[in-house]
Amino acid sequence: MADDMTGGVPVATVARVGVTLTVNGADYRLDLDSRVTLLDALRDRLGMTGTKKGCDQGACGACTVMVDGKRVLSCLTLAAQCEGKDVTTIEGLAADGVLHAMQEAFVRHDAFQCGYCTSGQIMSAVCLLAEGRAGSDDAIRQFMSGNLCRCGAYGNIVAAIREVRDAGGHDA
């Protein structure tokens, strides 16, 4: 990495990286500024805007996606770190136009208002069930507390997750 000097201030030239992202089962070859996060790669480079940016600081959960089956904050993950990993986003949850049980439950229970946190909530909720951490309402509340909802849909989010859990729908 070289620095060139302009007006006495060093200007960094930024390394580019080649990365193959596997998103919702499809491979995408990207040539990226090495600073690009997984979130921005999804949104700005691949046009998959279902994953949302609420803070870009790892504090809100709006950007939650699944990487190799685990929920991660895509704003705190560099795209370059995801080579060879399986990324699932909200766009990959419904199969052949049929909503995932969690998506359906969110609609029925009105578990969102503006909908901005919803992709992250749903990805988190799906992982929560897979983690086996949704045993009680208190557990759901605790383990969903990394996903902020400013509209305050928390009660309905808990109800939706409870319903999917009780129906035995814990496969993502």
Among 64, 77, 88, 103, binds another protein (CB under 8 A): 103
Binding-site string for ligand FES from residue 56 to residue 85, where x marks contact by CB under 6 A and - marks none? x-xxxxxx---------x-x----------
Question: 70 or 150, CB closer to another protein?
Answer: 150
Residue 153 near residue 106, CB atoms below 8 Å? no
Euclidean distance between CA atoms 168 and 106, whole angstroms: 16
Among 64, 118, 126, 127, binds another protein (CB under 8 A): 118
The option from ligand FES, another protein, none interacting with 48 (CB < 5 to 8 A, set by class) reads: another protein
CB of 121 to another protein, least distance (A): 9
129-138, Cβ contacts within 8 angstroms, sequence gap of 24 or more: 129/102, 129/161, 129/164, 129/165, 129/169, 129/170, 129/172, 130/69, 130/170, 130/171, 130/172, 132/170, 134/161, 134/162, 134/165, 134/170, 137/162
120 Cβ partners below 8 Å, 6+ apart?
51, 52, 54, 60, 61, 62, 63, 64, 147
Judged by the rule CB under 6 A, the positions of this chain that interact with ligand FES are 53-56, 58-63, 73, 75, 112-118, 149-151, 153
Chain residues binding another protein by CB under 8 A are 6-9, 11-14, 33, 35-36, 40, 43-44, 47-57, 59-60, 62, 89-91, 93-94, 99, 103-104, 106-108, 110, 112-119, 122, 138, 140-142, 144-158
